[in-house]
Chain A
Amino acid sequence: MVLTFVTATSMLALTLGDSAPAAAVKMKNLDGRELAISDMAGRNGTLVIFSCNHCPYVKAWEARIAAVGNGCQGKGIGVIMINSNDPVAYPEDSFEVMQQRAKERGFAFPYVVDATSDVARAFGATRTPEVFLFDGAGKLVYHGVVDDNAEHADKVEKHYLQDALGALVAGKTPAVQETKAIGCSIKFRPKA
């Protein structure tokens, strides 16, 4: 039964070439504005990051995520970071801690609350952090991790996300389009 569930989840996961699902769903940003993925779409592409506050893998990658996300400014790539975790289960994933974290890390991009976790479900996202990069035409061109070494920033050999963003800006298809890493499972809210 669980196997069936996993298979079903995998079937729902986005594949390369897909458009962003739930792109019009409004989510509360740290500044109180309601933002949708489509609001952040850039002419060269859109970077969607599923993240949270409590996960050690997120913490390990957070400074690099901030640098990459902030670096998208002026490149025609929109960025939106989404927290789909249930703060009832994980108080550290609350809106208040999101605000603190964004301040500490200097996120220059929106960090929004997926209040039903349904945006993550629609993407088939399973863990944090997990990134989805869409090109200027709105097609998924990269899905996976930030780079190949969460633990040691100084030992990264493959800067997957940075390379994919570079390819997009250059009007090319990223050389590597799908990557994986261990991460915290998304703590989905119970279905309504």
Chain B
Amino acid sequence: MVALTVANVARSVQRGRAPQATTRGARFVSLVAAVAMLAAASTACGRREASRPARTSAAAAAALTPITGAGVKDLIAARRGRVVLVNVWATWCDPCREEFPDLLRVRRELAPQGLDVVLICADFASQLPQAREFLARSGVDFPTYFKTEKDEEFINALEPRWSGALPMTLLVARDGHRAGFWEGKASYQTFAAKIRPLLVPQN
């Protein structure tokens, strides 16, 4: 049971998503999963990493994975059945940093009901150390991504309505349809109001 759960967690982590409980009332499983995930993380980091301050291990967990626009679409497709909130941000973008806590709050509160939050950093490659530092400081301990493709291809692949201004947030419903699009900063209330109706359990 535990071994299976660990395997599931490992796969989930590999796919860059939070592990899901497959049955109702699976809190215990979730707890085991969380413990397993922590164990896996500390094993991955090694003993020396584990003994470092929390900030460093958060930075390690918040590793940025390269992604293209097509990659984002694949990632969304692979999460069919979940509600997905995709946010493109950059460290130099003040409104992005301002809305970041709201995005994390949305994830914290609504992930258990079926929401995945996909954060994509659009910083220049030379700024990635600052991006990692920001993620760590914000307490991001889940996998996030950074854009490796040229802007135009990336923008058009993600959302043709997007002019390129940051931040940009895209909401994808369980059936894959685009349920929301924000160019510019939005708030927890705005995101949550749009997301909650999409999380109603499907029959």
Which A residues are within 8 Å of any B CB, using their own CB?
2-3, 6-7, 9-10, 13, 55-56, 60, 90, 126-127, 145, 148-151, 179-186
Do A148 and B150 touch (CB < 8 A)? yes
In residues 132-184 of chain B, which contact A (Cβ within 8 Å)? Answer: 150-152, 154-156, 161-166, 180-184
Q: How far is the CA of A25 from the CA of B128 in the complex (A)?
A: 41
Do B165 and A127 touch (CB < 8 A)? yes
Least CB distance from A140 to B in Å reads 15
Q: How far is the CA of A126 from the CA of B163 in the complex (A)?
A: 7
Least CB distance from B182 to A in Å reads 5
Least CB distance from A58 to B in Å reads 11
Give the nearest-CB partner of A60 in chain B: B124
Do A182 and B155 touch (CB < 8 A)? yes
Do A181 and B152 touch (CB < 8 A)? yes
Query: Given contacts A10-B161, A180-B156, A185-B95, are A126 and B183 in contact (CB under 8 A)?
Result: yes
Q: How far is the CA of A7 from the CA of B180 in the complex (A)?
A: 12
Q: How far is the CA of A185 from the CA of B185 in the complex (A)?
A: 10
Do A185 and B150 touch (CB < 8 A)? no
Do B163 and A127 touch (CB < 8 A)? yes
Q: How far is the CA of A10 from the CA of B90 in the complex (A)?
A: 23
Least CB distance from B173 to A in Å reads 13
Q: How far is the CA of A90 from the CA of B93 in the complex (A)?
A: 12
Which residues from chain B contact A180 at a C-beta distance below 8 Å? 151-152, 155-156, 162-164
Query: Given contacts A3-B181, A180-B152, are A185 and B165 in contact (CB under 8 A)?
Result: yes
Q: How far is the CA of A47 from the CA of B45 in the complex (A)?
A: 53
Which residues from chain A contact B154 at a C-beta distance below 8 Å? 182
Q: How far is the CA of A184 from the CA of B96 in the complex (A)?
A: 10
Do B151 and A150 touch (CB < 8 A)? yes
Which residues from chain B contact A184 at a C-beta distance below 8 Å? 92-93, 165-166
Do A185 and B184 touch (CB < 8 A)? yes
Query: Given contacts A2-B182, A6-B183, are A182 and B164 in contact (CB under 8 A)?
Result: yes
Least CB distance from A77 to B in Å reads 24
In residues 74-111 of chain B, which contact A (Cβ within 8 Å)? Answer: 88, 90, 92-95
Q: Is B118 an interface residue (CB 8 A)?
A: no
Q: Is B190 an interface residue (CB 8 A)?
A: yes
Q: Which of B88, B151, B163, B184 has the most CB of A within 10 A?
A: B163
Query: Given contacts A151-B125, A182-B151, are A6 and B182 in contact (CB under 8 A)?
Result: yes
Which residues from chain B contact A150 at a C-beta distance below 8 Å? 124, 151
Q: How far is the CA of A184 from the CA of B124 in the complex (A)?
A: 13
Q: How far is the CA of A168 from the CA of B15 in the complex (A)?
A: 49
Which residues from chain B contact A60 at a C-beta distance below 8 Å? 124
Q: Is B115 an interface residue (CB 8 A)?
A: no
- What 4 A-B pairs have minimum CB-CB distances, sorted nearest first? A185-B165, A127-B165, A181-B151, A126-B163
Which residues from chain A contact B163 at a C-beta distance below 8 Å? 13, 126-127, 180
Q: Is B60 an interface residue (CB 8 A)?
A: no
Cβ-defined partner of B190 (8 Å) among A2, A13, A55, A149: A2
